[in-house]
Structure 1
Amino acid sequence: MSRIGDKIRNARQVKKMTQKQLAKKLGVSEKFINEVEIGKRIANQDIIDRLSKILGKEINDITMSFEENIYKEEEKSQIKPVNSKKIVNDVWSDALSDVLKNIPIYNYDLNKSIGFKQLPVIHNKIEGYSKDKVLYLKISDDDMSGFRIKKGDMAFGHLTQEIENNAILLLEYDGNRVVRQIKRLGGSKVLLISNSGSLRTETKEEKDLKPILKLDRLEINL
């Protein structure tokens, strides 16, 4: 069972709702609810938002995991001896927090940040996205070098659970996390494209893929 499926099942049981009752409120089949809860099917962001509203509980697993990691890292950074220099720096940090934000840099596992880059906050968003859903991804291999995405480059992106046609995504399948371009083939099939000098493609069922991050732009190393 997936973490997000487990959260849905627990929240449903707290509400004393059957899968059939939840499916009716959501406007989907009982089979759909069952497959989401056991991790066989991936619910898109719209479904997640509607489930959260119906069940009265935030169940976005990826976002919650990401936010928990940020909180733990910020908590660790605060466990330091207090001195006057730090107090002055904190005052400046507070003053700049509405102008600049530290965007964490992650490897593909998204477990622990390996650094930060500052970006401006505009209308309480970072490049048009919610501040808590953006990050930098350090490219770990040359699988996408044919797309000019090489090992060591930094890609800015936002968390997603949607499979968007022609997008370049960090996704998980067969127990691995990789960066691939996505092309829909119709029905439930999608094409995964990589290029490390020669074009390679894989055909997969959409239900077997777990989209994590959409890459929006690239910062290359010269």
Structure 2
Amino acid sequence: MSRAGEKLKNIREQLGLSQKQLAKKLGVAESFINEVEMGRKILNESFMNKLSKLAGKDINDISMSIEEDADMEVADVKPSIMKTHKVSSSNKDLPEINDVWSNALSSVLKTVPMYKYDLKQTVGSRQLPVVSNKIEGHSVDKVLFLEIEEDDMIGFRMAKGDIAFAHLTHEAPNNAICLVEYNSERAIRQIKKLDSNKVLLISNKGSIRTETAYTKDINVIAVLDRVEIKL
């Protein structure tokens, strides 16, 4: 049990409440209270403020556990982090404190790199929430952003300069839009399976264009999940 979990349990017992009763009063799941007391979940500022109000005293000295919190909203964590940075801005130990909070935040947010098609050098990054050690259902080490380099998929509402979220894989579902390598070139194409040996590579630069290729000659690099359209 962590220090935070032990304190939470002591306060709950002082109030004469079961985990279920405390969870109901604070508007969270009973399982969350249990996980906090076991030292597996985060106590953020919003939660501590609610607990302080219920207990009738300030308990914001409770230490925070640095574990992934898939059940709490990321937005609830941000105020606590912002407050810590503000208070510590004039402190000579700021770099060390920032490192601590960076480690804490890495349990909740992940910096996802952005690449061009060659995947050799990052051209930017975005932060996305981590839930159950996954980002949007994919392993955290398999996700990336791609900068669309051509207008050859404009018919699919993907224009040059748009940003696509994708996940690395060598297996593409039928009709998926993918980053592929074919004839020593990389491009975004929709893949339609014809049979076990052949696929149709579809592009749309104002009009649909198709090219038949053998599966063995196509290297699927990533599947695109969504696109951020540049207005």
TM bucket (normalised to shorter chain) is 0.5 to 0.7
Instruction: State yes or no: 1:210 paired with 2:223.
Output: no
Q: TM-score, normalised by structure 1?
A: 0.61
Moved over 6 A (4+): none
Which letter does structure 1 place at the counterpart of 2:202? I
Matching residue within 155, 158, 164 for 2:173: 164
- Take 1:163 and 1:128, find their aligned partners in 2: how far apart are those partners? 16
**1:102-150 CA distances to partner (integer Å, 9 max, x unpaired)?**
0000100001111110000001110111100000011001010000011
SS in 2 for 1:123: coil
Distance (Å, rounded) in 2 between the aligned partners of 1:113 and 1:90: 23
Q: Is the 8 A contact 2:189 2:203 kept in 1?
A: yes
Q: Mind listing any 5+ residue stretches in structure 1 that lack a counterpart? A: 1-82
The structure with the largest helix share of the pair is: 1
Structure 2 residue 206 is the aligned partner of structure 1 residue 186: no
Task: Give the number of the structure whose alpha-carbon radius of gyration is greater.
Answer: 2
3-state SS, counterpart of residue 114 of structure 1: strand
> Alignment length, in residue pairs?
140
CA RMSD in angstroms comes to 1.2
State the match for 2:99 in structure 1.
90
Matching residue's letter, 1:134? V
Query: What secondary structure is seen at the aligned counterpart in 1 of 2:122?
Result: coil
Which ranges in structure 2 are unaligned for 5 or more consecutive residues? 1-91
Corresponding residue number in structure 1 for 2:80: none
Q: Quick one: higher RCO (CA 8 Å, sep 6+), 1 or 2?
A: 1
1:99 partner letter? V
Taking the aligned partners of 1:163 and 1:123, their CA distance within structure 2 comes to: 24
Which residue is 1:153 aligned to?
A: 162
Deviations 1:159-201 (A, max 9, x none): 0011321000001010000000010112411100000111111
Inter-partner Cα distance in structure 2 for 1:148 and 1:103: 23
Q: 1:129 aligns with which of 134, 138, 141?
A: 138
Contact 2:165 2:227 in 1 (8 A): yes
Please state how far the C-alpha of 1:86 moved relative to its aligned partner. Answer: 3.0
In structure 1, what is the Cα distance between the partners aligned to 2:149 and 2:99?
34
Which whole-Å CA distance do the structure 1 matches of 2:95 and 2:214 have between them? 52
One-letter identity of the residue aligned with 2:209: R
Q: Distance in 1 between matches of 2:147 and 2:170?
A: 20
In structure 2, the partner of 1:140 is 149
**1:7-86 equivalent positions in 2, closer than 5 A:** 84-86=93-95
- In the TM superposition, residue 92 of structure 1 has moved relative to its aligned partner by 1.8
SS at match of 2:206: coil
The corresponding residue for 2:117 is 108
